[in-house]
Amino acid sequence: MQKVTGTLMSDNGNHTESAKATAATAEPQGEAEESTGLQVGTTLQVTAERPAHGGETIGTTSAGVIFLDGALPGDTVMAEVTQRKKSFSRGRVTSVLESGPYRGASRCAAADAGAGCCDFHQVIPEREAELKQLILEDQLRRVGKFTAGSEELPQIRIVSIDEQPGTRTRARFGVGADGKAGVRRRHSTDVITERCSAIDPRIYDEVEKHSFTPGAEVVCAVDSLGEVHVTETARAPRGKRVKHSRKVVAGSPLVTEKVGGTTFVFPVTGFWQAHREVPEIFSTLIREAASYAREDDGPASEEEPLCGWDLYGGVGALAPALVQALGGHNAEVISVDTTYVKDWQGSDHVSFARGDVAGTIPILPQPQFVVLDPPRTGAGFKTIGAIAAHKPHTVVHFGCDPATCARDLRSWVDYGYRVVELNLVNAFPGSYHFETVAVLVAP
């Protein structure tokens, strides 16, 4: 694993709320909209100064802060104003006048054609993790209220991962009026059939053989056995995951995944980490976190097992690593989620509680070690408080959104926990998304 040190940045942004906070630190604006003539449709030259969460960058104009869609830090661009607010604006890049230090050649034909799959397709691969580190540092400062240089947070460690094209083993495509499947155009439901470079090409090789129902969605996977699975489903609401297939087009309805010595069998529409290396990387981080356990951290008697909670556990992918972190032979792990697990073939030390995490916590036994991988919205103050009330010594918290992860880490610290590791995993090369893995210990 590569270790990279960094200092928390100054201003950045986090969607609308961070836009307001950023604007508040900029130069006085007065009646900017009237006095500068900066209105929707105006084209202006601006330099992108720093990254913002969500794939945008931030520049400043005579009218204040502007969030730029299509620019990278250091770029000087021409941009058309697309939104005007009291405290900030948004703009779309129409041309790049001068490239900054992060811009390189495009890596994705689909993104070149306008798809929203790879927001960072023009970021130099060797600098992508660095750029994401800057975003994480800013969200920790802005949303988490962590002070630069304080002892509340350790230095961020960037975890080594394969960032080459084709590492994504999961894909969710739209279907156009012609029956062809592909990724969607950015900010649109239109379908683009050019190949996304991040997706395993074996998926495209199979999908391109078939015609689908216009308006449907196509869920695809390449599993650990190398089998390609393609299933047609009804379109899911925005931000929701498809749970049921309508028609199996290729492969079988169940995928087989292996992590270490454990085999997982579940529906094609079930959740699994998209990057082929991530499940093993996450498992390794959990096992390494066992080093923070105290000698006196254990059950009241030798007859009682060491207990671990695997919260938001899905199909239980991380549960075997938690069993190992607890020592194996005298461990009991309870995996909590709403996902139905079919034909569990893993450790006998793992059991499943199906239900809402917050509602299940009160009936669980006392844990020594907790792993939680909440959805993009985060775990939240109340759920973290309920976990902290049980006083597990070690916690591994996964976050797929840096803003909500920063908020959750602040909650942990407010409940007395200490962050001893902060890892960044570039699990989505070519896009602005990444995973944060924090290790915390009780006071």
Dihedral over Cα of 113, 46, 125, 405: its sign: negative
Given a contact cutoff of 8 angstroms between Cβ atoms, the answer to whether 256 and 223 are in contact is: yes
Rounded (10°) CA dihedral 206, 207, 212, 217: 130
* Backbone angles phi and psi of 102, in degrees to 5: -95, -15
Residue keyed to tokens 């390609």: 228
Residue keyed to tokens 């947070």: 153
* Catalytic-labelled residue, pool 117, 220, 307, 400: 400
405 catalytic residue (yes or no) = no
Other C-beta atoms within 10 Å of 310: how many?
30
Q: Are strands 254-259 and 43-47 parallel, antiparallel or unpaired?
A: unpaired
The length of the chain is: 443
Dihedral over Cα of 13, 18, 22, 23: its sign: positive
Six token digits for residue 326: 């607890």
Rounded (10°) angle between helices 402-414 and 125-142: 40
Please check if 373 is assigned to a binding site.
yes
Cα distance between the two ends of the chain: 28
Q: Residue 431: name the closest of 165, 245, 211 by CA.
A: 165
Please check if 417 is assigned to a binding site.
no
Q: Residue 79: name the closest of 102, 47, 50, 105 by CA.
A: 47
Residues identified as active-site: 400
State the binding site for S-adenosyl-L-methionine: 273, 312, 373
State the binding site: 273, 312, 373
